[in-house]
């Protein structure tokens, strides 16, 4: 079998590597990595140095962020002819994010009468019921394609790859394929991830690590910065380390004198596999990073979701909070993430005596 796995985030890349080492160990697998995450070009070059995928390709997305490019993408996707593409003929293509390039591939394959299996895969445990959440431009593209008689990729999906098939409630018509869990004893995977992210094991002098969300950079601000500053004031700046989101280049917290994780672009899953990070409390409002690591990797670190600590009518915050609570309850029933809690002012507090 010849497969292509399209990766839009580093977590997706980790899933792609895990699938190549397990499910697709004897198959020919290529991977595309977008430049949405910081240092993507460096990671891509590192992957080219080692023999995991037959080919690894960096896909540039950042240059297509302006309105003109988006309009051009919509027109090309809906009304342009089936252009020639420089792409191999794959038996299966796996993706998480819906994107214009998928439509171009599908149109080209249809023109060439090539049959491919389209498959979806997980982007973290909180993604299971977030299939194909897109912006207005892609929603418009789907509608226009249907109007002009072109196919919809979503209706062609046959398989869904994830680590917890029992947790997937929707799209039961798909064939669910279990991705083997990540083990702390998987030396091969650990070494690969350490190399491609140039990660060095380090000591952690901080009591708390806060995981920032992409809300501000994605236009869904709900007051996260103000919350982090309050936490720093309460527990002490010297006790708090902020891990920036891999797509966030801002220095907003540094301006306020907070400690920033220097290698924030490295996925938390990579750090958990290689560092102990014992006796820390993980904090976040909406980031799924530590719930992913706690559920998929053999560890039971303490974590607190602070979504209920913000009083806001922000729909993004409310919707994500609802999904987090639902998934966490489900994980607890399966005996997972036992030490990950939802902030409750009466039961869970960042105590002053915890300060160092």
pLDDT attached to residue 193: 95
Q: How far is CA 139 from CA 93, 98, 122, 171, in A?
A: 21, 10, 21, 19
Asked if 215 and 346 sit in the same domain, the reply is: yes
- Per-residue pLDDT tens for 167-210? 999 999 999 999 998 888 889 999 999 999 999 877 678 899 99
* Cβ neighbourhood burial of 49 (10 Å; 0-12, 13-18, 19+): exposed
Asked if 30 and 168 sit in the same domain, the reply is: yes
Asked if 180 and 224 sit in the same domain, the reply is: no
Asked if 63 and 188 sit in the same domain, the reply is: yes
Residue 201 included in any domain: no
Asked if 305 and 253 sit in the same domain, the reply is: yes
Specify which residues 55 forms β-bridges with. 30
Q: Which of 127, 15, 17, 6 is nearest to 61 (CA)?
A: 6
Domain around 236: 208-354
Q: How far is CA 38 from CA 8, 41, 148, 187, in A?
A: 12, 8, 37, 26
Asked if 54 and 80 sit in the same domain, the reply is: yes
Which residues of the chain register pLDDT less than 70? 62-67, 80-83, 203, 276, 298-300, 344-356
Long-range own/partner contacts, residues 334-340 (CB < 8 A, 24 or more apart):
336/294, 336/295, 337/291, 337/294, 337/295, 337/300, 337/303, 338/300, 339/294, 339/300, 339/301, 339/302, 339/303, 340/282, 340/290, 340/291, 340/294, 340/302, 340/303, 340/304, 340/305
Q: Which of 5, 4, 18 is nearest to 269 (CA)?
A: 18
Residues in the chain: 356
Asked if 333 and 278 sit in the same domain, the reply is: yes
pLDDT attached to residue 356: 46
- Per-residue pLDDT tens for 286-313? 888 878 888 877 666 788 999 988 888 8
pLDDT attached to residue 295: 83
Asked if 173 and 216 sit in the same domain, the reply is: no
pLDDT attached to residue 62: 64
Among residues 196, 218, 248, which one ends one of the domains? Answer: 196
Q: What percent of the chain has pLDDT over 70?
A: 91
Asked if 153 and 232 sit in the same domain, the reply is: no
Asked if 48 and 117 sit in the same domain, the reply is: yes
Q: Which of 3, 17, 342 is nearest to 190 (CA)?
A: 17
pLDDT attached to residue 221: 86
pLDDT attached to residue 346: 46
- Per-residue pLDDT tens for 31-54? 999 998 889 999 999 999 998 999
Residue 203 included in any domain: no
Number of domains within the chain: 2
Asked if 20 and 167 sit in the same domain, the reply is: yes
CATH number for the domain that contains residue 322: 3.40.50
Among residues 166, 196, 226, which one ends one of the domains? Answer: 196
pLDDT attached to residue 350: 52
């Amino acid at each position: 079998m010849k497969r292509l796995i399209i990766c839009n985030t580093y977590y997706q890349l980790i899933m792609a590597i895990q699938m190549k080492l397990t499910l697709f160990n004897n198959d020919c697998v290529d991977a595309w990595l977008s430049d949405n995450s910081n240092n993507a070009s460096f990671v891509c070059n590192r992957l080219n140095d080692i023999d995991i995928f037959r080919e690894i390709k960096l896909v540039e997305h950042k240059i297509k962020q302006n309105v003109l490019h988006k309009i051009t993408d919509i027109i090309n996707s809906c009304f342009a002819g089936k252009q020639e593409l420089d792409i191999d003929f794959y038996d299966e293509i796996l993706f998480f994010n819906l994107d214009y390039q998928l439509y171009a591939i599908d149109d080209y394959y249809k023109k060439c009468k090539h049959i491919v299996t389209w498959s979806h895969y997980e982007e973290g445990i909180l993604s299971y019921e977030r299939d194909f959440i897109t912006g207005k431009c892609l929603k418009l593209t789907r509608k226009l394609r249907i109007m002009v008689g072109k196919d919809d990729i979503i209706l062609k999906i046959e398989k869904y790859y994830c680590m917890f098939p029992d947790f997937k409630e929707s799209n039961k018509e798909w064939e669910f394929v279990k991705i083997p869990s990540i083990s702390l004893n998987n030396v091969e995977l650990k070494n690969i991830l350490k190399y491609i992210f140039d990660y060095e094991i380090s000591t952690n002098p901080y009591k708390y690590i806060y995981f920032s969300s992409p809300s501000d950079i994605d236009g869904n601000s709900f007051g996260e910065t103000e919350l982090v500053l309050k936490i720093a004031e309460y527990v002490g700046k010297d006790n708090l380390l902020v891990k920036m989101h891999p797509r966030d280049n801002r220095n907003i917290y540094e301006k306020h004198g907070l400690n920033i994780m220097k290698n924030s672009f490295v996925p938390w899953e990579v750090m958990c596999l290689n560092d102990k990070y014992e006796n820390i409390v993980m904090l976040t409002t909406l980031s799924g990073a530590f719930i992913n690591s706690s559920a998929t990797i053999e560890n039971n670190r303490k974590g607190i979701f602070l979504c209920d600590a913000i009083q806001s009518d922000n729909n993004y915050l409310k919707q994500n909070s609802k999904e987090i609570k639902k998934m966490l309850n489900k994980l607890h029933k399966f005996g997972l993430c036992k030490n990950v809690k939802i902030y409750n002012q009466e039961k869970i507090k960042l105590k002053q005596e915890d300060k160092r």
